[in-house]
């Protein structure tokens, strides 16, 4: 009798995870902890390039990313994901979410923009809203 080997799930498996991309360690850690307490699987990265190197064709459920990052920025990351054929709902974290910037969010590919500094629970509420939507 053959026993099937189960695919091992590791933190690099991004399918269905909430991915946080921020150069700020406090932001990454805070969102990881708060979302994790709700049972949400979170994978955090300090750069867009790190996320792209871990993709393996897997589609995260939600992306939370700084709009400005060292190297590739948030909008460029969304473009790279789109080129991979992945449609990911994205929340952009920005220091410049003026009224004009909020209107630009959807044009840049972001589902929503959140102005820094922000309360972690305001981001969690947005993530939960996205996760409840039918895909």
Q: What is the pLDDT of residues 9-45, one digit of tens each?
A: 344 577 889 999 999 999 999 999 999 999 999 999 9
**Total-model pTM:** 0.83
CATH topology of domain 18-132: Rossmann fold (3.40.50)
Predicted local confidence at residue 106, as pLDDT:
53
Query: Has residue 102 got a pLDDT over 70?
Result: no
pLDDT confidence tier of residue 135, bands split at 50, 70 and 90: low
Mean pLDDT calculated for residue range 101-127: 80
* Closest CA relative to residue 123, chosen from 112, 134, 110: 112
Q: Which residues contact 63 (CB under 8 A, 6 or more apart)?
A: 18, 19, 21, 77, 78, 81, 88, 89, 90, 91
| Helix and strand numbers, DSSP H then E, in the chain | 5, 5
């Amino acid at each position: 009798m053959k026993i099937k080997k189960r695919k091992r799930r590791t933190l690099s498996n991004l399918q269905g995870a909430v991915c946080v991309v921020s150069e700020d360690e406090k932001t990454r850690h805070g969102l990881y902890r708060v979302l994790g307490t709700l049972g949400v699987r979170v994978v955090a990265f300090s750069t867009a390039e790190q996320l792209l190197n871990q993709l393996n064709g897997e589609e995260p459920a939600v992306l939370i990313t700084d709009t400005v990052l060292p190297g590739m920025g948030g909008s460029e990351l969304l473009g790279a994901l789109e080129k991979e054929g992945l449609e990911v709902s994205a929340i952009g974290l920005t220091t410049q979410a003026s009224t004009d910037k909020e209107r630009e969010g959807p044009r840049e590919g972001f589902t929503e923009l959140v102005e820094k500094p922000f309360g972690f629970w305001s981001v969690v509420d947005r993530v939960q809203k996205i996760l409840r939507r039918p895909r």
